Structure 1
């Protein structure tokens, strides 16, 4: 069954999604729009897509679902506009700019009854899925420690950083989501610390370029999360799950961006992952394929707005902890 999808926002991730959607056999019509009309024209010509001159025109163009890849401040408004029309939505994270707003948007979306999927692509990576299966099967026993790492080879432009909401809301949310998903536990308290050794622009907007977070989970598992904007060897995204009976890892492939100084070991052989798009190209394809199934009602949303709200509360707690220098409970930020 063919599917007609809209795509709003054609920047870095939006253009990448256009490439992925155009290659899906299940998508037979793609309608695109961006506030930069020249970009809309260019992307449409490249992929044989239809153009829309405005958001309203796109939403009124008889589409079955819409992918939102616009800038973060627009996510809430665009998601609600589509949901209120009954159009299923795939929205890149976050669903809104703050946890409080995310919770409000979640209530409004729930009232529409429209399916919404949030973009946390690690859930669709085979290695991360394998780690979750091992946990769900009880192979690891009880979980005592989870280590999740996300490090970029270089920071994005400072104008992006200024509107990103900070390292915890922009980058670490992927770690927070995968820890919740893998463990099946909720965050109880958060302690975060960070530093700046790179571009002074981070400090100027109240952000950090490097951070470490310890999250105490509801089942007693400790999640140790590390993030950095400067990891010159490449894009580093790895997960370790340690249990009383066994340990598993995801992301420890030949492209892991590290140099092993053991003279008797050649792993990882490389080349190193350069960027999140090349690291997760298959996961993005699986994620958007799943959204097509959501559009047709074949499956429930595999990453809900409620999931995104829980992640937002963790990011909020980490941001507060960084500012205060002490641990912050999720109950505190909710209140």
Structure 2
């Protein structure tokens, strides 16, 4: 199959390398708003470099992967879907929940599949933890804990256009909560702080946040996020149940050390960043998208899923700013 890729920044270049390595992808066509960047990434991989992102749509591709900046996502998704091209788009759907909802409403009734990129759905440990829950081995889950702690903050330019830490970082955790439990988030209470990164504060964002989520089935979820976790990239999830408890991300590369001198776990070098922590999950995710393109499976993470995660992010942002609990229905 022929796959088009729009956007060749950090994650786009990573996806380009993954896609060219998939046996089902016969040709990769790439484009970026910066043509020199498209050539520098695409040509060494043997990809076909097209002049402009819009040219991808007219190139006869079987599917499109959108890895461009967040603000471009809604228009690109809309154009691909209306052209009948199966579409993969990196999270979040848009920089605001309002725009995400408007896109979902605009595309209601369209049967062209959209796959939103939340790679934790494809992480082997997350999949196994969900299987334990679905099989009843955990009993009912009273508490879920989800963590995304980045080792260093993104550039100031990224912060200004990301939609905030809840929208560009915690949104992974919000999707994981829905995916794992099958429950909807009903209410959010969030707090945030900035201790060491002035440009994050100046942008009206927070460096570190924690959200408490009340779910429709009675489970409580605690989501923790930070831009400044110096030991490494910490992506974890814990399901604490009435019969058993399980964790995803509890491995020898966990970026956490025990203060007990008799404990040697974790013994490995800590995960450095999301691209090494989730490398296998990204590959599985894009493999799944090629199956969506081929028509052999439905989207494993729909536009609706992406919008619901954005709504939780919007509720968390409002809660943090106004220092109060916020019902998700309040921001719909």
Sort the TM-score into its range (normalised by shorter chain).
Answer: over 0.9
The match for 1:89 is 87
Q: CA deviation at 1:56?
A: 2.5
Q: Which of the residues 214, 223, 227 maps onto 1:225? A: 223
* Residue-by-residue CA offset, 1:51-75 (whole Å, 9 max, x unaligned): 1111232111110000000000000
Report the Cα distance in structure 1 between the residues aligned to 2:259 and 2:288, rounded to whole angstroms: 41
Partner of 1:117, secondary structure, is strand
Report the Cα distance in structure 2 between the residues aligned to 1:45 and 1:205, rounded to whole angstroms: 36
- Say whether residues 1:31 and 2:45 are aligned partners: no
The answer as to whether partners of 2:95 and 2:161 remain within 8 angstroms in 1 is: no
Structure 1 residues 111 and 54: alpha-carbon distance in aligned structure 2, compared to 1, 3 A threshold: farther
The match for 2:202 is 204
Q: Structure 2 matches for 1:128-139, cutoff 5 A?
A: 128-139=126-137
- Say whether residues 1:17 and 2:15 are aligned partners: yes
Q: Which runs of 4+ in 1 moved over 3 A?
A: none
* Residue-by-residue CA offset, 1:138-177 (whole Å, 9 max, x unaligned): 1111110000010000000011001111110010000000
Unaligned runs of 5+ in 1: none
The answer as to whether partners of 1:96 and 1:105 remain within 8 angstroms in 2 is: no
The match for 1:42 is 40
The answer as to whether partners of 1:257 and 1:270 remain within 8 angstroms in 2 is: no
- Say whether residues 1:145 and 2:132 are aligned partners: no
Unaligned runs of 5+ in 2: none
Report the Cα distance in structure 1 between the residues aligned to 2:108 and 2:123, rounded to whole angstroms: 28
Partner of 1:24, secondary structure, is coil
Q: CA deviation at 1:231?
A: 0.6
Q: CA deviation at 1:96?
A: 1.6
Q: CA deviation at 1:49?
A: 0.5
Report the Cα distance in structure 2 between the residues aligned to 1:247 and 1:239, rounded to whole angstroms: 11
Q: CA deviation at 1:252?
A: 0.4
The answer as to whether partners of 1:22 and 1:47 remain within 8 angstroms in 2 is: yes
Q: CA deviation at 1:287?
A: 0.2
Q: Which of the residues 114, 117, 135 maps onto 2:115? A: 117
The answer as to whether partners of 2:35 and 2:52 remain within 8 angstroms in 1 is: no
Give TM-score scaled by structure 2 length: 0.99
The match for 2:244 is 246
Q: CA deviation at 1:239?
A: 0.7
Q: CA deviation at 1:109?
A: 2.5
The answer as to whether partners of 1:294 and 1:301 remain within 8 angstroms in 2 is: yes
Paired residues, what number?
A: 332
RMSD across aligned positions (CA): 0.8
The answer as to whether partners of 1:188 and 1:329 remain within 8 angstroms in 2 is: yes
Give TM-score scaled by structure 1 length: 0.98
* Residue-by-residue CA offset, 1:263-306 (whole Å, 9 max, x unaligned): 22111011100000000000000000000000011000000000
- Say whether residues 1:161 and 2:159 are aligned partners: yes
Report the Cα distance in structure 2 between the residues aligned to 1:312 and 1:56, rounded to whole angstroms: 26
* Residue-by-residue CA offset, 1:161-200 (whole Å, 9 max, x unaligned): 0111111001000000001110110001000001000111
Q: CA deviation at 1:111?
A: 3.2
- Say whether residues 1:54 and 2:52 are aligned partners: yes
Report the Cα distance in structure 1 between the residues aligned to 2:227 and 2:247, rounded to whole angstroms: 23
